[in-house]
Structure 1
Amino acid sequence: MFKSLKSDFPASIVVFFVALPLCLGIALASGAPLFSGLIAGIIGGIVVGFLSGSQIGVSGPAAGLAAIVLTAITALGGWENFLVAVVLGGAIQIVFGLLRLGIIGYYFPSSVIKGMLTGIGIIIILKQIPYFFGIDKNPEGDFAFLQVDGENTLTELLKTLNALLSGNFDKGATIIALIAMAILILWSNVLSKKGKFFQLVQGPLVAVVAGIVYFFITRDSSLALSGDHLVSVPVPESLSDMKSLLAFPNFEVITRGDVILTGFTIALVASLETLLCVEATDKLDPHKRVTPTNRELLAQGTGNMISGFIGGLPITQVIVRSSANIQSGGQTKASAIIHGFLLLISVLTIPQVLNYIPLSVLAAILFIVGYKLAKPSTFKAMYNGGWMQFVPFIVTVLGIVFMDLLKGIGLGLAVGIFIVLYRSFQNSHFLHKEGEDVDDGKIKMTLAEEVTFFNKGAILKELDRVPENSILELDVRNTRYLDNDIIEILEDFALKAKERQIDIKLYSERGIVENPESFIEFFKLRKKGKAS
């Protein structure tokens, strides 16, 4: 786990600085005690990090559950009663894992997953604009269109524009945000290629240090930052104060129907959000590793039970932190675990120092994360992939930006299913596999005439079972429609096959393709409709 520590430790620092304000913001958006967000972040990093099979996923308090938590705390009669629902939700997630329901995530088309990533990237950028200019003084971590203070994304942007035009923005916050942005771009595009020092010391850490230095240098000037524009971590004065920040569930209400229903709702929504994030992070993983989804549900369920027992928010795998981890060079689960320990150590030892970090600097860091998720090239690639890829993608993006995460995904999935049903109206689809393991080490897999994303889970399972040092003969001579999701799976498998010493022979109407490079090139042509 620690073999890539030189890459994982710098990445964990970036994830730590991304996670810190989000833990606090999501707690605020949920109407929960601020410390509950930090507890969930610590448990998500350390406990879930150890138990999870994901190498690059990072877990913590879930923005997608903020609305549910906000309503449930009042409906159930208080925070301690709600914590019982969190514990129950975790136990139900463990049952989901034991029932092997993790495969559900594979039934979402890649156009919807990419739309989810892009939509979240846009939301991150839009939500951080007010903080960048020091205008919004109410940090909230929810990624829904509506905000906790009654405003929405559009009205907040209009307020920001008016403030900029009238000059009523915080010039100090803006200056340090611009400096941080310049550091991040310079570090990423120039300095990181100049030597090992600039690879070990990451740009976000330098930007945060610059922000703290700026706070002290300008404290007595007209460009000083006020406390409203700084991170706000609870500061316990003693051990007894630390204990007072913890809360424990009131198990006297465990048999109430509304508590049980809330627990099931948390389990269902948290599991779905986690499985979608797993699917998305696996696509972002440079090594194309596949996360065991049932194990992930077991890990998340355990994390939620522990978080609920000590006063924390519900936990899911979180795409913002996971993508920041990947973009910063994280290689193994060590980065997620270390980030959890960094949260714990910082809360116990240096909460005062953390409270000197400007929110506008963190906004600059999240700008970069958001841009990497929502690059213009992604829109171009999806458009070039044809209307069957682009329509679910853009519907998902718009749904997430203008409504919320789960509604956007639901709309995109509905459109994707409609398109598949439209395509399947004339042709049936199925997966037909021939030949199990034989003495000569050859395995033959024949794809059917119609193969869609419904077959994704089955194909992934069969490819994962191909043993090392074997020969896979893949026959697509009779395949007339091969879904883009299946093509991506086969391309990813071609890359992994090198590491597993698996030789691939592809039988098509044009002949036999034997080397991985030609294999991938064939499917690139297949995407464009230029290969038989």
Structure 2
Amino acid sequence: MTLQTVRSDILAGTVVFLVALPLSLGIAQACGLPPFVGLLTGVVGGIVVTIFSPSRFAVSGPAAGLVTVVAGAMESLGSFSLLLSALVLAGALQLLAGFLRAGRWICLVPGSVIQGMMAAIGLLLILQQTPVALDTDGDSVTKIISPDSVLVALGALLILALWQTRFIKRSRFLGRIPGALMAVLWGSLMVLTNDYLVPGSLADLDRLSLPEIDSFSEVAAQFSHPEFSAFWRNGAVWLTAVTLALVASLETLLSQEALQKLCPQQPQPSADKELLAQGVGNMLSGCLGGLPITAVIVRSSVNVNAGARSKFSVLLHGLLLFCCGLFFETLLNTIPLASLAAILMYTGYRLAHPELFLRQWRLGAVQFIPFIVTASAIVLTGMLTGLALGMLSQLLCSTCASHRSAIQLSSYSNHFVIRFNQNLTFLHNARLRDLLAKIPDNSVVIAEYESAEYMDRDIWLTLAAFSEAAAARGIMLERWPRAEDPQLVDGGVH
């Protein structure tokens, strides 16, 4: 490790820390948990997971994609301790998946379902954080919206949008400052300025509430622990654990795939080893009172773009989060919750960007239907049910598309070519009859069936019936499959 490498890693680690800090605080707040929980999760992901991870550049920590899962689990389980039990169990499931080398099966999850899941997460983030930005719990239409909170949230959203423009990105100075950090600074400056000029004017504006930590015993008091006494018989805990393990693993492995395209590593980091690292991290996070951990592509890409050379940059970001939680709680407590809500709402907007829906629509029904089914089902029913319905709809759409392309009919003047592109079952019989019915009298029909190694008996009966009626209609058959062919003894056509 050279001096130049260390300097690059220090810069990258600092930039990642500035991105991770507001997100960690905002994710904890969105889950209805103390902000210390978000910092703790960032520390475990930034240090422990990084040590075990095979990737040099992946940054792990609390992810916005799991906010909806955690919030729903808190409501269904009724206690944070049971959620921590589910998180420990989810980590154990990830360890088991890593040992069983299940990481390679990520490729079986259709892209349309994954896109639908991310869009649903984005929509849910917007729905959940809008009441926070308005400073209302969303349960009463009669509650007055706080204009101060709205002003802070709108200002933060405008800053986040401005930071995506070419003017900011091309700036050598401003382009290096994370937009999320500027949104947080805007809220803090609003609070500090008003407290100085007009003391008490923003007293009703909800802010972070990190505890003051002056001793080791006070640090220990911030940790929560899972409840293992009766969770084995609690089906809701197991369902939550499976959901957390599935979604966290999906997001992690997809982030690794995206990171590999952004910055290729040779040899490519093992997906199974990454699952093991994430499992260790989630088990430890659950034992200490943290949130679910995943590899996060936003922070990972920031790490690469900032010039990271080794794992030291990720470790440094974890250490900085640790120091921030211990020594800068007074400064962090000036951050309004509306600023953090705006950051998560903007994150949700980018996950569920209208262009994503248009892009899926342009890909055709086979891609759009599973995408919209997944997104809608997750919003209306929950994560696991939505993913299952999305997978089922993709299977049905793909089967229908495959079914239609199995038999094709093309014409050249009065010559017709019917092609059998794959093995045919009784399910293809209706389409075969429809295509044969389109062939007019006094035609020449050529059959191409070399790609079909098997045909059900129903297919042969349909072909035989058409062959018997062909002469009376003046239809000449060429290379037509015959039921008396000796090759049919074993069910094949060759």
What's the TM-score, normalizing by structure 1?
A: 0.63
Contact 1:180 1:361 in 2 (8 A): yes
Deviations 1:112-152 (A, max 9, x none): 1111122222222232222223334xxxxxxxxxxxxxx6x
Offset at residue 107 of structure 1 (A): 1.4
Q: Are residues 1:271 and 2:276 paired? A: no
Q: Are residues 1:305 and 2:279 paired? A: no
Instruction: Please name the residue that 1:13 is paired with.
Output: 18
Offset at residue 335 of structure 1 (A): 6.5
Instruction: Please name the residue that 2:127 is paired with.
Output: 126
Instruction: Please name the residue that 2:437 is paired with.
Output: none
Distance in 2 between the 1:247 and 1:361 partners? 27
Distance in 1 between the 2:27 and 2:298 partners? 14
> How well do the aligned residues superpose, as a CA RMSD in angstroms?
3.8
Offset at residue 95 of structure 1 (A): 2.5
- Sequence identity, in percent? 29
Distance in 1 between the 2:263 and 2:404 partners? 34
Q: Are residues 1:229 and 2:206 paired? A: yes
Contact 1:191 1:198 in 2 (8 A): no
Deviations 1:422-463 (A, max 9, x none): 3445789xxxxxxxxxxxxxxxxxxxx78xxxxxxxxxxxxx
Query: Which residue identity is paired with 1:258?
Result: R
Contact 1:271 1:316 in 2 (8 A): no
Contact 2:133 2:341 in 1 (8 A): yes
Out of 53, 58, 61, the position equivalent to 2:60 is 58
Q: Are residues 1:201 and 2:177 paired? A: yes
Offset at residue 367 of structure 1 (A): 3.2
Distance in 1 between the 2:226 and 2:127 partners? 36
Instruction: Please name the residue that 1:171 is paired with.
Output: 147
Q: Are residues 1:135 and 2:140 paired? A: no
Distance 1:427 1:413, change over 3 A: same
Distance in 2 between the 1:270 and 1:331 partners? 32
Offset at residue 86 of structure 1 (A): 4.6
Q: Are residues 1:186 and 2:162 paired? A: yes
Offset at residue 349 of structure 1 (A): 0.7
Query: Which residue identity is paired with 2:220?
Result: K
Distance in 2 between the 1:217 and 1:349 partners? 23
SS at match of 1:196: coil
Unaligned runs of 5+ in 1: 137-150, 429-448, 451-477, 481-532
Contact 2:41 2:291 in 1 (8 A): yes
Query: Which residue identity is paired with 1:204?
Result: A
Distance in 2 between the 1:118 and 1:355 partners? 32
SS at match of 1:229: coil
SS at match of 2:62: strand
Distance in 1 between the 2:75 and 2:130 partners? 25
Deviations 1:63-113 (A, max 9, x none): 324444555576xxx93x875665454344322211112233221100111
Distance in 1 between the 2:227 and 2:250 partners? 32
Offset at residue 205 of structure 1 (A): 1.8
Distance 1:340 1:479, change over 3 A: farther
Offset at residue 303 of structure 1 (A): 1.0
Map 1:374-523; keep pairs closer than 5 Å.
Answer: 374-425=352-403
Distance 1:279 1:381, change over 3 A: farther
Q: Are residues 1:40 and 2:41 paired? A: yes
Distance in 2 between the 1:370 and 1:327 partners? 18
Contact 2:23 2:343 in 1 (8 A): yes
Unaligned runs of 5+ in 2: 407-420, 423-449, 453-494
Q: Are residues 1:96 and 2:97 paired? A: yes
Question: Bigger radius of gyration, 1 or 2?
Answer: 2
